[in-house]
Chain A
Amino acid sequence: MRFQRPTATTGWWSWATTVDHKRIGIMYGVTAIVFFVVGGSEALLMRLQLARPNGRILTAEAYNQLFTMHGLTMIFLVVMPLGAAFFNYMLPLLIGARDVAFPRLNAFSYWVFLFGGLFLYSSFLLGGAPSGGWFGYAPLSEQPSSHMIFYSLGLLVLGISSTVAAINFAVTIINLRAPGMSLMRMPVFVWMTLVVSFLLIFALPVLTIGLFELFFDLRFGTHFFDPNFGADPVLWQHLFWLFGHPEVYVLILPAMGIVSEVLPVFSRKPLFGYPVVVFSGIAIGFMGWGVWAHHMFAVGLGPVANSAFALSTMFIAVPTGVKIFNWMATLWGGDIRFKTPLLFSLGFIAMFIIGGLSGVTHAIVPSDYQQTDTYYIVAHFHYVLFGGAIFGLFSGIYYWWPKITGRMLSETIGKWHFWVMLIGFNVTFGPFHILGLQGMPRRIYQYAPNLGLNFWNMVSTIGSFMIALSLLIFFYNVVHTFRRGAVAGEDPWDGRTLEWSIPSPPPHYNFEELPVVHSVDDFWHRKYAEGEGGRLVPVVAGGSEADREVSTGDHGGGGHSIHMPSPSYFPLVAALGLPILCYGLIYSTILVIDGAVTLLVGLYGWAVEPSAE
């Protein structure tokens, strides 16, 4: 039996069966933005509840479900997939490839991510969402009232998606670089993608086993985390944070990569200390494995363990600091153009410095004893994950939007978006430092009126609505752009990397002729040579030696003879099997069989369908 591969190139069906990395990247991005709105609404509800003492909008149970789902959504369904959206869309363009290494596996990752997110959210309709926190500390999370079974299975499914995607990106970077693009000529964003991929490949399985053990405890009555049977109540924390700390770098490194692309373009200077920035990223990737117990200082691991992890945590601030100095040196003396992408990158640097410094304060153990489980910690991780990761990702959205859609986002509206978001962000999360140091604990749904916490809580709630307003401005900008945005052209920012050498939006085969790379920022050097006194001199088209050998072999003839992988039904079918299997594991054996059969049919169809013709 042979299957025909789907052939539609327009309409819904073409999106459901696509294996084009650009379309998959767009689907990742749109889905993540939708989840961003959902997770943001959860945050607004919590801020409304906390605006005044003894708030009555939410019950304690509802509040617990909301902070759990807010954390899970923002980490697993927003920041990670937004990173994945850029990896998908930009990675092949930045390294001069026509697609990723495994196009169908790439579609599979997306569908598994989507179904995993929907599965997690379906818990609201099926007895209540998980309420044991995104960290899910067992044995506390094993109380039946916490609904953590959806947490364990949902994150297992999302973990499969991320692992598969990470393997795909790692192989793509290692194997599909354009001729001449050695590792040390890759854009920094590509380097950071590689580091993130390796972090995911090695960190996610540790969480997977923790979730697996949690699931077995909940569903089959094992005792991995049950102290009544002599189990170690700290085991979960070790497994979780051994994943959880590398995960922090999974969230921030893509943003650092984007900033490292944006700053040189808008200051018209090469990135200062390219090799140092790359090695700092790699160093962060390695050192990220040796700091997990700083999440557990208050557990009582003893002074030796606490001191060792305090030291390693302070050390990891060094490569991070090196990067910040390199970014500032990139700007120094540059011909700076304050466009929206640059503003968001500058916002990233400023906010990340604040978040990084408060991070160093809880590397100091006695200080952490005071801060742990207070709003001070909440302030810290919002400064690195929102002020850091989200600002960096918005910088990427504004920077690459013209390449992806062919139209420019409005600069004026974009600047409004940036300033309202920056101010709203600081008004929301700045007061958390004060509240935390005053002793306001995390995860409480009410506080008494006479504790001196009223004023700053109200300020913070006002700030959170400013952030919501800034997002509305962004959405207005998007709609406005689709109606009357200026046409971008190939290279609106005078860019430095290969994606700016092809039309916007790129044709489905990306490069008509595969580029040959001679240096870092190769496209820049095709456009400019260094004249007397180090001044930039535009190269006359076709005039320089470098320009004559920009391409080799592989003559596409207008792209018509380029073979691209055909669309496929089976990634979608196989991915559909996973949520069915998971519902089965909770509710009935028949669904387990249904899910397994769907998965196998998908995989077999995948294996035997005719390859791209």
Chain B
Amino acid sequence: MAVHAQPSEHSTHTSTGLSNAKLGMWAFLGSECLLFGALISTFLLYRGKSLSGPTPKDVYDIPYTSVSSFVLLMSSLTMVLALAAIQRGDHPKLRVSLMATALLGMTFISGQVYEFTRFVQEGLSVRTNLFGTSFFVLTGFHGAHVTGGIIMLLSLFGMSLDGRLPTEKAEAVELVGLYWHFVDVVWIVIFTVVYLIPTGK
């Protein structure tokens, strides 16, 4: 995904005044909406349709997942701070905020790994029933997106340490930020649909 962080080779003048890279990122996120949309639809279609347990009620730990959701949401705050820092030209603060965002993301991923492990111990795997199938693939797909975001954040951090992320390249941070916020917003939907709305079964 470092692809999108590269300023385009035609950055001088555009018909709309928007940069190519930013338009491209928005189009990419539009496409991502339908990826998640199709997976969430599958989950909703199969909600309460499992022929055997464990059911969501048997395995969910809502307070635990609420905490890790909060961690992910806070990472959007540090992402905003990172962008503000580079736009001000404050590079030490940029690196702190980028690293904080990456660490919060990693905390969320660790939480997800722990949660998956516990679900498996309680007898729910991708092969157990429709709930296991649709739950793990949907949340795992989101986790893979967060992981991709973490790699981008660490790449930006490394570029900044190396002196390759000058203030003129603030757009690279903005683009990774767009992606990161998108992944967060998707998690709000997933947390609501998958965890909070009761299944009745």
Contact (Cβ within 8 A) B127 A222: yes
Bound Cα distance A220, B132 (Å)? 12
Q: Mark A180-210, 1 if CB is under 8 A from B, else 0.
A: 0100000000000000000001111110111
Check: A167 CB closer than 8 A to any chain B CB. yes
Bound Cα distance A73, B3 (Å)? 29
Contact (Cβ within 8 A) B129 A229: yes
Q: Mark A208-238, 1 if CB is under 8 A from B, else 0.
A: 1110110010001111100001111001000
Contact (Cβ within 8 A) B32 A205: yes
Count CB-based A-B contacts (< 8 Å).
Answer: 132
Q: Measured between C-beta atoms, what is the minimum distance from B149 to chain A in Å?
A: 14
Q: How large is the interface on B (under 10, 10 to 19, 20 to 34, 35 or more residues)?
A: 35 or more
Q: Give chain A residues whose Cβ lies under 8 Å from the Cβ of B10.
A: 98-99, 101, 175-176
**Contacts A101-B10, A222-B127, A565-B9 known; A167 to B31 CB distance under 8 Å?**
yes
Check: B130 CB closer than 8 A to any chain A CB. yes
Q: Which of A104, A170, A213 contacts B137 (CB 8 A)?
A: A213
Q: Measured between C-beta atoms, what is the minimum distance from A554 to chain B in Å?
A: 10
Check: A447 CB closer than 8 A to any chain B CB. no
Q: Give chain A residues whose Cβ lies under 8 Å from the Cβ of B137.
A: 212-213, 216, 222, 224
Q: Give chain B residues whose Cβ lies under 8 Å from the Cβ of A201.
A: 27, 30-31
Q: Which B5-57 residues have C-beta < 8 A from chain A?
A: 5-10, 14-16, 18, 20, 23-24, 27-28, 30-35, 37-39, 42, 45-46, 49-51
Bound Cα distance A352, B4 (Å)? 40
Q: Give chain A residues whose Cβ lies under 8 Å from the Cβ of B30.
A: 201-202
Contact (Cβ within 8 A) A612 B9: yes
Bound Cα distance A102, B7 (Å)? 9
Q: Which of B16, B35, B51 contacts A174 (CB 8 A)?
A: B16
User: How many residues on chain A are close to B (CB under 8 Å)?
Assistant: 50
Q: Which of A170, A181, A220, A604 contacts B27 (CB 8 A)?
A: A170
Contact (Cβ within 8 A) A607 B20: no
Q: Which of A201, A222, A565, A612 is the most central at the interface, judged by chain B CB atoms within 10 Å of its CB? A: A222
Q: Return the chain A residue nearest B22 by Cβ.
A: A171
Check: A606 CB closer than 8 A to any chain B CB. yes
Check: A163 CB closer than 8 A to any chain B CB. yes
Contact (Cβ within 8 A) A167 B24: yes
**Contacts A101-B24, A167-B28, A174-B23 known; A206 to B34 CB distance under 8 Å?**
yes
Q: Measured between C-beta atoms, what is the minimum distance from A563 to chain B in Å?
A: 9
Q: Give chain B residues whose Cβ lies under 8 Å from the Cβ of A209.
A: 35, 38-39, 42
Q: Measured between C-beta atoms, what is the minimum distance from A555 to chain B in Å?
A: 15
Check: A341 CB closer than 8 A to any chain B CB. no
Bound Cα distance A105, B37 (Å)? 26
5 interchain pairs (CB within 8 A)? Answer: A108-B3, A209-B39, A229-B130, A230-B130, A606-B2
Spell out B's residues near A (CB within 8 Å).
1-3, 5-10, 14-16, 18, 20, 23-24, 27-28, 30-35, 37-39, 42, 45-46, 49-51, 126-127, 129-130, 133-134, 137, 141, 155, 164
